Amino acid sequence: QIAIMTLTLFPIRLLFAAFMMLLAWPFAFVASLGSDGKEPEQPLALWRKKVVDLLLKAIMRTMWFAGGFHRVAVKGRQALPTEATILTLAPHSSYFDAIPVTMTMSSIVMKAESRDIPIWGTLIKYIRPVFVSRSDQDSRRKTVEEIKRRAQSNGKWPQCLLFLESVCILHMCYKEWGPCAFIPGVPVQPVVLRYPNKLDTITWTWQGPRALEILWLTLCQFHNQVEIEFLPVYHPSEEEKRNPALYASNVRRVMAEALGVSITDYTFEDCQLALAEGQLRLPSDTCLLEFARLVRGLGLKPEKLEKDLDKYAENTKLKKGEKIDLLEFAAYLEVPVSDTLEGMFSLFDESGSGKMDLREYVVALSVVCRPSKTLDTIQLAFKMYASPDDGCISEEDLSCILKTALGVAELPVTDLFSAI
């Protein structure tokens, strides 16, 4: 089928899609006149929005129809901007997730470089997106402030359709996502997306087919299915308004129930940690994934902590193996005592004595920060555990280092120590 469709229907669909984008460009260009190309300060004039929206929606729907999306099933009702200024869409698992964007003409968050793409950039600028600049270290804060400004405009701006990041694994479970869409504390409308094709060529997966291959395989299917379901507007409680992470978690639960999938608090980075190539592979029963989750739960960023690992090791070495309690651990991390901190502390307090060795924390943190650099972690550990007299370590210390680096409870090292 792929061979036949590649020679017949695929080139026709591709050319027609390109033609429809060219047809849409002048309307978007005229409607966007007067924009300086930077972050827009005002929404489009109402007459432009009404007329051009109608034309562009018709053109884009024709383009998707030609691409095999003959019927887009819509369930529920899209809320008015005065009812919900933010639409939260998940799972974000395909390049074809642009379909609900073209159907609603809602604003989205896009990288700033997208506006410079010929033709496509003009279409992007028309929907008044919130641009994110990777070169601007303050971009995340500005993005949140802009979303908040639009969300509190009483419906003057078009709705913001936010793709929730890091949310789906093979359509089977939801991963943790950031609270960016929930910081404004305004009502949101959850939107769930499904691609019920018998043969799934649409979904992008890590280390799977690339973008052009997905486009090719999908356009080679005679019929592609997509379902968009608008769930009831979610009104946050006062507690959720004060706690965006709680707000995000509760909305995620509602969307997961609608899709019939489970929830997990692990992230894409945890998958990378479990699959990292190195001299030591993490076992399936490792507790380091739980440790990594708790590190993020404390608001600590492994990517920022990596550069300070040597400093942590030097400070820890000065303690000469002296164990600390929970309050001292909280002071060391400069975080308040919480359930998350107690959970992390218990990982290193195996005996239940209320004491932990800070060196074990630094070793575990090194593995999480640089999972593929096992030798760097071992060298860091030897630096902390080595005797100040001869620079050697004991069998007990070797066992502790390897147990912590692998995240396991027991690890016999007698034969290894004797061989060394």
pLDDT in tens, 118-144: 888 888 888 888 888 877 777 778 888
Maximum Cα–Cα distance across the chain: 82
Position 278 confidence tier, pLDDT thresholds 50, 70, 90: low
Average pLDDT over residues 295-315: 82
pLDDT of 101 higher than 60: yes
Do 223 and 13 touch, CB atoms closer than 8 A?
no
pLDDT of 413 higher than 70: no
- CA neighbor of 103 nearest in space, from 158, 147, 146: 158
Average pLDDT over residues 149-171: 74
- CA neighbor of 119 nearest in space, from 14, 31, 53, 28: 28
Separation CA 331–CA 358 (nearest Å): 12
Per-residue model confidence (pLDDT) at position 167: 46
Dihedral, CA atoms, 332, 333, 335, 338, nearest 10 degrees?
A: -90
| Residue/partner pairs of 372-375 with CB below 8 Å, 24 or more apart | 372/276, 372/277, 372/278, 373/278, 374/278, 374/279, 374/280, 374/405, 375/279
Do 202 and 96 touch, CB atoms closer than 8 A?
yes
Residue 100: C-alpha distances to residues 160, 238, 380 (Å): 12, 30, 50
Per-residue model confidence (pLDDT) at position 54: 92
Separation CA 94–CA 171 (nearest Å): 11
pLDDT of 342 higher than 70: yes
- What's the distance, CA 353 to chain centroid? 38
DSSP code per residue over 34-97: T--SSS-SSPPPHHHHHHHHHHHHHHHHHHHHHTT--EEEEES-PPPTTT-SEEEEE---BGGG
Do 124 and 114 touch, CB atoms closer than 8 A?
yes
Position 169 confidence tier, pLDDT thresholds 50, 70, 90: very low
pLDDT of 281 higher than 60: no
- Bond before 91 cis per omega within 30 degrees: yes
Token pair recorded at residue 22: 């060219």
pLDDT of 198 higher than 70: yes
DSSP code per residue over 166-192: S-EETTTEEPP--SGGGTT---EEEEE
Per-residue model confidence (pLDDT) at position 382: 85
**What would the pLDDT profile of 378-399 be if each residue is shown by its tens digit?**
888 888 888 776 667 777 877 7
Cross-strand partners of 73: 227
Task: Kindly give, in sequence order, each residue whose CB lies less than 8 Å from that of residue 330, ignoring residues fewer than 6 positions away.
Answer: 336, 337, 341
pLDDT of 227 higher than 90: yes
Dihedrals φ, ψ of 18, to 5°?
Answer: -65, -40
pLDDT of 178 higher than 80: no
More confident residue, 297 or 259: 259
Residue 359: C-alpha distances to residues 356, 372, 411 (Å): 9, 20, 18
Question: pLDDT exceeding 90 applies to what percent of the chain?
Answer: 35
Q: Map residue 154 onto helix, strand or coil.
A: coil
Separation CA 372–CA 198 (nearest Å): 37
More confident residue, 173 or 403: 403
Do 401 and 381 touch, CB atoms closer than 8 A?
yes
| Strand pairing report for 86-90 and 160-163 | parallel
Position 330 confidence tier, pLDDT thresholds 50, 70, 90: very high
Residue ranges per structural domain of the chain? 2-265, 269-419
Residue 21: C-alpha distances to residues 9, 124, 132, 151 (Å): 18, 12, 24, 30
What pTM, to 2 d.p., does this model score? Answer: 0.75
More confident residue, 417 or 181: 181
**What would the pLDDT profile of 347-388 be if each residue is shown by its tens digit?**
888 888 899 988 888 888 888 888 777 788 888 888 888 877
pLDDT of 108 higher than 60: yes
Position 166 confidence tier, pLDDT thresholds 50, 70, 90: very low
- First-residue to last-residue Cα distance in the chain: 60
Per-residue model confidence (pLDDT) at position 59: 96
